[in-house]
Amino acid sequence: METLHAGVVLIGFMGSGKSSVARRLAYRLGCEYIDLDSRIELAAGQSIAEIFTTQGEAAFRRLETEALKKALATPNIISPGGGTVTQPVNREILKAAVQNGVSVIYLRATPQTLAERIRRQPGKRPLIDGDQILDFVATRRRVEELLAQRQEYYEALATAIVDSDNLSLDFVTGKIEKILKPRND
C-alpha cells in the first residue's frame, strides 16, 4: 500500500458502513482490505452469531483482539466490528497504531440511520437481536442505548470523523480519500 504508508482503520457503530467503505476505499486506492469479522468467522468456521451463542461474547472479544493485532501488523485498510472500541486492550492497540501513523476514521451516523441499516440484515447482530428479532422502534432504542456507551470511545480514538447519513458510498469514500491525502504529502 504505497499511497497510505501506515494504514487506515474504520471505526463506528454496527450499520455505519465500515465494511462497504473499506471495500470501496481499497478498490479506489488499489490495495487490500481486511474485514475483522470475516477473518474471525473464517478462522472459527462459524458466523459471528454462532460464536456468540456457542462460545459467548468474552471469547468473541478475545478472537477480535487477536485479529486486530494481526491486521495491524502490516499497513492495511481495516474494518473492525463496532464493539472493538469497548475493550480497553483494543483502545490501547488503536492508540498505539495512531502513534505509528495509522489513520482512524470514525464513520458516524444517527441512530435512525443505523437502525434502518441494521434492520436490513435481521439476526446478524447478536447484541441487537438476542433471542428474538426486534422491530424497528426497539432496534433504534437499543442502538441509542449502546451508542451512548460507545460514542465517547469512537470520538476519542478518531483522527477524523466522517458523517455518512444520506450520503452515497462514493461520496463518503471520496471524503476519506481527501482526509488521507495530506498525510502522504
Task: Give the total residue count for the chain.
Answer: 185
Q: How far is the CB of 2 from ligand S3P (least distance, A)?
A: 28
Measured between alpha carbons, how far is 128 from 173 in angstroms, rounded to an integer? Answer: 27
Q: How far is the CB of 123 from ligand S3P (least distance, A)?
A: 11
160, three cell numbers: 477524523
**14 or 115: CB nearest ligand S3P:** 14
The three-class DSSP label of residue 107 is: strand
**75 or 83: CB nearest ligand S3P:** 83
**40 or 176: CB nearest ligand S3P:** 40
**7 or 81: CB nearest ligand S3P:** 81
Q: How far is the CB of 70 from ligand S3P (least distance, A)?
A: 16
Q: How far is the CB of 182 from ligand S3P (least distance, A)?
A: 28
Residues that bind ligand S3P (CB under 6 A): 14, 18, 37, 48, 81-83, 125-127
Dihedral sign from CA coordinates of 156, 180, 37, 59: negative
The three-class DSSP label of residue 158 is: coil
Measured between alpha carbons, how far is 146 from 141 in angstroms, rounded to an integer? Answer: 9
